[in-house]
Structure 1
Amino acid sequence: MRYLSLPAKCAPVALLFILSFFMAFIPAAPPGKKPVVIAYVGGYRGLIANPASIMVEKLTHINYAFVDIKNGQAWLTNEATDTVNFRALNALKFRNPALKILISIGGWAWSENFSDAVLTEAGRQLFAATAVDIVRKYQLDGVDIDWEYPGVPGEEGNVYRPEDKQHYTLMFKALRASLDTLQRETGRPYLLTTAVGGGRYFTEHTEMDKAQQYLDYVNIMTYDYKTSATGLAGHHTNLYGSTKDTAEASAHRSVQIYLEAGVPAEKLVMGAAFYGRGWTLKDGTNRGLNQQALKGARGGGYTRLKDSLINQQGYKRHWDRKAKAPYLWHPGNNVFITFDDERSVRAKCKYIKKYNMAGIMFWEYSSDPKGYLLDAIHTSFNK
Structure 2
Amino acid sequence: MTRLSFTVLIFLAAYFGSNIRPNVATLDPKTVCYYESWVHWRQGDGKMDPEDIDTSLCSHIVYSYFGIDASSHEIKLLDQYLMITLHDMEHFTKHKGNAKAMIAVGGASMSDQFSKTAAVEHYRETFVVSTIDLMTKYGFDGVMIDWSGMQAKDSDNFVKLLDKFDEKFAQTSFVMGVTLPATIASYDNYNIPAISNYVDFMNVLTLDYDGPWAYTVGHASALPEQLKTLEAYNKRGAPRHKMVMAVPFFARTWILEKMDKQDVGDKASGPGPKGQFTQTPGFLSYNELCVQIQAETNAFSITRDHDNTAIYAVYVHDNHAEWISFEDRHTLGDKARNITEQGYGGMSVYTLSNEDVHGVCGDKNPLLHAINSNYFRGIVTEPTVVTVTPVTHTTEHVTDIPGVFHCHQEGFFRDKTYCAKYYECKKGDFGLEQTVHHCPNHSQAFDEVSRTCVDHAKIPGC
Residue 271 of structure 2 is matched in structure 1 by 296
Residue 320 of structure 1 is matched in structure 2 by 305
Question: Secondary structure of 1:39's partner?
Answer: strand
Structure 1: runs of 5+ lacking an equivalent: 1-18, 152-161, 184-188, 241-249
Equivalents in 1 of 2:211, 2:133: separation in Å? 36
Q: 1:45 to 1:68 in 2, by over 3 A?
A: farther
Are 1:206 and 2:206 counterparts? Answer: no
1:104-162 CA-to-partner distances (Å, cap 9, x unmatched) read: 001123333111111122222222112222111112101101111101xxxxxxxxxx4
Larger RCO of the pair (alpha carbons < 8 Å, separation 6+)? 1
Residue 29 of structure 1 is matched in structure 2 by 25
Equivalents in 2 of 1:171, 1:279: separation in Å? 40
Residue 94 of structure 2 is matched in structure 1 by 91
Bigger CA radius of gyration? 2
Aligned-pair identity in percent equals: 20
- Structure 2 residue identity aligned to 1:49: M
Residue 65 of structure 1 is matched in structure 2 by 64
Selected match of 2:155 from 160, 165, 171: 165
1:68-98 CA-to-partner distances (Å, cap 9, x unmatched) read: 11122211122232231221122224xx3x2
Task: Give how far 1:284 is off.
Answer: 4.3
- Structure 2 residue identity aligned to 1:329: V
- Structure 2 residue identity aligned to 1:59: C
Equivalents in 2 of 1:376, 1:221: separation in Å? 20
Equivalents in 2 of 1:349, 1:288: separation in Å? 26
Task: Give how far 1:288 is off.
Answer: 4.1
Selected match of 2:208 from 213, 220, 224: 224
Task: Give how far 1:286 is off.
Answer: 5.3
Equivalents in 2 of 1:132, 1:313: separation in Å? 53
- Structure 2 residue identity aligned to 1:232: T
Is the Cα contact below 8 Å between 1:274 and 1:301 reproduced in 2? yes
Task: Give how far 1:26 is off.
Answer: 4.7
Selected match of 1:353 from 329, 340, 345: 340
1:174-219 CA-to-partner distances (Å, cap 9, x unmatched) read: 12222226x1xxxxx1100011111222221111121111011101
More off after superposition, 340-349 vs 76-85: 76-85
Task: Give how far 1:45 is off.
Answer: 4.9
Is the Cα contact below 8 Å between 1:230 and 1:296 reproduced in 2? no
Residue 52 of structure 1 is matched in structure 2 by 51
Paired residues for 1:236-255 under 5 Å? 236-240=220-224, 250-255=225-230
Are 1:174 and 2:170 counterparts? Answer: no
Question: Secondary structure of 1:38's partner?
Answer: strand
Structure 2: runs of 5+ lacking an equivalent: 1-17, 42-46, 274-282, 360-364, 382-462
Task: Give how far 1:293 is off.
Answer: 2.2
Residue 82 of structure 1 is matched in structure 2 by 83
TM-score by length of 1: 0.81
Q: 1:229 to 1:199 in 2, by over 3 A?
A: closer
- Paired residues in the alignment total 332
Paired residues for 1:75-154 under 5 Å? 75-83=76-84, 84-93=87-96, 96=97, 98-151=98-151
Equivalents in 1 of 2:124, 2:298: separation in Å? 53
Residue 13 of structure 1 is matched in structure 2 by none
Is the Cα contact below 8 Å between 1:222 and 1:270 reproduced in 2? yes
Residue 155 of structure 1 is matched in structure 2 by none
- Structure 2 residue identity aligned to 1:235: H
- Structure 2 residue identity aligned to 1:42: E
Equivalents in 2 of 1:49, 1:307: separation in Å? 17
Task: Give how far 1:271 is off.
Answer: 1.0
Are 1:190 and 2:174 counterparts? Answer: yes
Equivalents in 2 of 1:307, 1:225: separation in Å? 25
Question: Secondary structure of 1:210's partner?
Answer: helix
Equivalents in 2 of 1:224, 1:343: separation in Å? 19
Equivalents in 2 of 1:285, 1:229: separation in Å? 21
Are 1:275 and 2:250 counterparts? Answer: yes
Are 1:42 and 2:47 counterparts? Answer: no
Are 1:342 and 2:329 counterparts? Answer: yes
Equivalents in 2 of 1:175, 1:295: separation in Å? 44
Task: Give how far 1:285 is off.
Answer: 5.9
Task: Give how far 1:53 is off.
Answer: 2.2
Residue 421 of structure 2 is matched in structure 1 by none
